[in-house]
Amino acid sequence: MAHSTLPITNQAETDRSTALSLFVSLRPAQWTKNLFVFGALLFGQRAGHPAFVDPPAIAQAIGAFFVFCALSGVVYLINDVADRENDRQHPIKRHRPIASGAVSPSLAIATAVVLFIGAMTAAYLLRPAFAAVAVTYVALNGLYSGPLKHVVIIDVLIVAIGFVLRAAGGALAIDVPISHWLLILILLLALFLALSKRRHELVLLADGATSHRPILQEYSPYLLDQMIGVVTASTLVSYVIYTISPETIQKFHTSYLGLTLVFPLYGIFRYLYLVHQKEGGGSPSDLLQNDRPLLACVALWAVSVAAIVYAAAGSAT
């Protein structure tokens, strides 16, 4: 009897291992990028009060977050299948389940199809306009997985636009307007992160960088440092303009949002410190989760913005 149950036990363990590897391929640690969906919940207003005190808006934003988590999982699966040969040459990415062979390409694609159908159905039920943004996000990333990742500068712009679509989708999901300045700010911040990641890859892989990602031959650490410098300054200036603009002051009934500039200043400088001094930046999500000062900065920024907006909304009513 013991010998007859062993294959069943081994099969169950294999199934669990495959399921776990498949879940890892969805990159749950990267889902923090989808927190941009909540930007509209933080900065949006409905019926004269902040959206983050509106329970239906909170539920819709959470639903939008999970839709983007599923869709980003679809994108990661497709990317990993397409890049599995290159990933095997990377010192870290070669351990990914698809590159290592723990998950077969056919299983990954089948899972991606099921996730896509389920996520798009949920997105349409949430709001048709939100579903349009969601499918645009997947289509854009599909183009990135194909030819666009080989076009210099366009490759990082596509990554940055993905963050803008998350923020725009969050606004459509809860039916609140979103400032053009806020979208520009998100684009610049995402571009800062994408360029920092390119620099990290160049430094980490050195001579083997172009064999892993051919587009890296079009970049150099010096060029990327110049681009990062421009984007850093533009991001901070855009934040100042947004927070002290008459439109923002009129919308939130407060001129104190500009005081929160200290948090973006520290956060960006801390990130640059980690990129240049600690050779970080390969994964913004990992840095956010593992670097306590950076995580505390983001948390304090969110709390301070919410407190200022909430207090202003209360005094205005």
Domain boundaries, the chain: 28-178, 179-317
- C-beta separation of 69 from 34 below 8 A: yes
Q: Is 45 left (phi over 0), alpha (psi -120 to 50) or beta?
A: beta
Give me the pLDDT at residue 66, please. Answer: 96
**H-helix or E-strand containing 50?**
strand 49-50
Give the alpha-carbon dihedral of 164, 165, 167, 169, to 10 degrees.
160
What average pLDDT does the segment 110-131 reach?
95
Of the pLDDT bands very low, low, confident and very high (cuts 50, 70, 90), residue 278 is: confident
Nearest to 288 by CA among 51, 23, 20, 35: 35
Above 80 in pLDDT, residue 166?
yes
Question: What number of residues does the chain have?
Answer: 317
SS3 175: coil
Helix (H, G, I), strand (E, B), or coil: what is residue 310? helix
Q: Are 291 and 270 in contact (CB under 8 A)?
A: yes
In the predicted structure, residue 202 carries a pLDDT above the cut 90: no
What DSSP character marks residue 206? G
Q: With bands split at pLDDT 50, 70 and 90, how would you rate the model's confidence at 277? A: confident
| Res. 177: pLDDT tops 80 | yes
pLDDT over 60 at 48, yes or no: no
Long-range contacts, stretch 214-222, CB < 8 angstroms, 24+ apart: 214/150, 215/149, 215/150, 215/151, 215/152, 215/155, 218/152, 219/152
Q: Report whether 65 contacts 34 (CB < 8 A).
A: yes
More confident residue, 54 or 168: 168
Whether the predicted model's global pTM rises above the 0.75 cut: yes
Burial class (CB in 10 A: 0-12, 13-18, 19+), 200: buried
The runs of H, that is alpha helices, within the chain are 2-25, 39-43, 55-82, 84-87, 97-100, 105-126, 128-145, 154-174, 180-205, 209-212, 221-244, 246-252, 262-277, 284-290, 292-316
pLDDT at residue 241 tops 80: yes
Between CA 19 and CA 183 the distance in angstroms is: 37
- pLDDT score, position 90: 73
Predicted confidence at residue 2, as pLDDT, reads 47
With cut-offs at 50, 70 and 90, classify the pLDDT of residue 10: low
Q: Which of 21-25, 75-79, 117-121, 287-291 has the lowest mean pLDDT?
A: 287-291
Question: What's the one-letter identity of residue 253?
Answer: H
As a whole number of angstroms, the distance between CA 171 and CA 57 comes to 10
pLDDT for 5 beyond 50: no
Lowest mean pLDDT among 25-29, 120-124, 212-216, 269-273: 212-216
Is pLDDT of 1 > 50? Answer: no
CA 33 to chain centre: 2
| Structure-token pair, residue 175 | 């039916």
Please tell me the predicted confidence (pLDDT) of residue 84.
85
* pLDDT score recorded for residue 200: 84
pLDDT in tens, 20-42: 888 999 988 888 889 999 988 88
Cβ atoms of residues 26 and 76 within 8 Å: yes
pLDDT tens-digit profile of 92-120? 778 888 988 888 999 999 999 999 999 99
What CATH number was assigned to the domain covering residues 28-178? 1.10.357.140
